[in-house]
Amino acid sequence: MKRRILWITSILSSIMTFGAAIFGFMVTSRLMYLKKKDDDFILNREITAKRFDEVWFSIVRKTEKWIDSPNGYPIKAIFLEPLNTNNYVVICHGVTENKTNSFKYARLFERLGFNSVVYDHRRHGDSGGKTTSFGYYEKMDLQSVIKAVNDYAGEDAIIGIHGESMGAATTILYAGTLEDHANFYIADCAFSDFTDQLLYLMKKETPLRTILAIKLADIFLRVRDGYSLRLVSPREAVLNIEKPVLFIHSLPDDFILPEMSQELYDLKQGPKQLKLFKIGAHAQSFNQNAIEYEQTIVDFLKTYNLLPKT
């Protein structure tokens, strides 16, 4: 009888272990290789919505650059220079997007007296890299981009970083864990902690309701991609940022909740502002509130004397 119980227990244990392994592998694969939007789809969407001006892009002074990532792949960047200035804003797009989604912000900052640098995150657009890490490796790539901009623009330049969604989280992680070398940061709809964000989406979109699934995925992620979820935590990084930060979010956002930007704002010490728009789904604050969005940035830059003199 005991032998039979041991045999059954052994089989059940093996089945559970195998099931856990399959689950962990599937979850981490979905994270690491998250399905991206097609590049042509993004381009056509931005043209149709009149957010990407093909004529402007064809005539604007620009330089394409390949920047070496410390993670061992090339990053594709475009330096957009419609103005005779050495002031730049580096624009970080969200997950599944590419640099084409950043051109609308480049036009905004052009009106405010800045040239821009748009680039593709790892595994997106034309850049290298095999996996998406939701800010962990991306912050190191951003560090390389900022270094290239600083070397190019010179010491007296005003340098800003604008990030949207994952790009906003990457911006905060860069500024709070690697360097705080830009003059200002704009974080549009950032998550405050990736573990909390995953748990929220899991409860919202799947029958799973336990943190154990996240912990299991974390173990596999460490093995497969070399980092832990707990290291993707803007709420920890924001405590170290000394420069001005503008936090932006739309109240109807049900993908990354606006409470996360509120949390980051509350945690940030020193110069900061928060703008919560009443209209707009996730990453749609600018698209749905373009005039107010631009004025919000103008007011922020004026407050901290960072608006270039024209």
Q: What is the pLDDT of residues 9-50, one digit of tens each?
A: 444 343 334 344 465 567 788 899 999 999 999 999 999 999
Residue 204 CB coordination number (10 Å): 9
**Within-domain flag for 289:** yes
Between CA 205 and CA 274 the distance in angstroms is 29
Assess if residue 310 is contained within a domain.
no
If one counts the domains in the chain, the total is 2
Q: Work out the number of other CB atoms within 10 angstroms of the CB of residue 179.
A: 14
Domain boundary pick from 203, 229, 255 = 229
Question: Can you read off the two tokens belonging to residue 275?
Answer: 């703008």
Does 260 share its domain with 210? Answer: no
Give every residue of the chain whose pLDDT is below 70, as ranges: 1-25, 208-209, 310
Residue 309 lies in a domain: no
Same domain, 176 and 291: yes
48-85: per-residue pLDDT in tens? 999 999 999 999 999 999 999 999 999 999 999 999 99
The pLDDT, as a whole number, for residue 136 is 98
* Dihedral angle over CA of 185, 188, 193, 194, nearest 10: -120
Same domain assignment for residues 115 and 171: yes
Q: What pLDDT is attached to residue 214?
A: 85
Does residue 149 fall inside a structural domain?
yes
Same domain, 116 and 51: yes
In-domain check, residue 70: yes
Q: What is the DSSP letter of 294?
A: H
Q: What is the pLDDT of residue 83?
A: 97
Among the listed residues 223, 229, 224, the one whose alpha carbon sits nearest the alpha carbon of residue 194: 229
Of 208, 229, 250, at which residue does a domain stop?
Answer: 229
Tokens 């974080």, located at residue: 187
- Nearest to residue 142, comparing CAs of 161, 124, 165? 161
Write down the mean pLDDT value for the chain: 92
Phi, psi of 234 (to 5 degrees): -55, -30
Q: How many other CB atoms are there within 10 angstroms of residue 270's CB atom? A: 9
- Tell me: do 79 and 204 sit in the same domain: no
Quote the domain boundaries for residue 249: 37-193+232-303
DSSP state of 85: -
Q: Are residues 186 and 278 in the same domain?
A: yes
pLDDT of residue 113: 97
Q: Do the Cβ atoms of 129 and 160 come closer than 8 Å?
A: no
Looking at residue 217, its pLDDT comes to 87
Are 163 and 188 found together in one domain? yes
Domain presence at residue 308: no
**Is there a single domain that holds both residue 122 and residue 10?**
no
C-beta of residue 187 within 8 angstroms of C-beta of residue 263? no
Q: Is residue 293 part of a domain?
A: yes
Instruction: Looking at the structure, tell me whether residues 110 and 216 fall in a common domain.
Output: no
Asked which of 184, 205, 229 is the last residue of a domain, the reply is 229
CATH number, domain of 79, equals 3.40.50.1820
pLDDT of residue 205: 81
d(CA 241, CA 266): 13
Question: Do 24 and 171 have their domain in common?
Answer: no
Do 92 and 211 lie in one domain? The reply is no
pLDDT of residue 302: 97
Nearest alpha carbon to residue 62 among 80, 82, 75: 80
Same domain, 139 and 263: yes
Residue 102 lies in a domain: yes
Distances (CA, A) of 60 to 23, 55, 77, 86, 113: 49, 9, 15, 16, 15
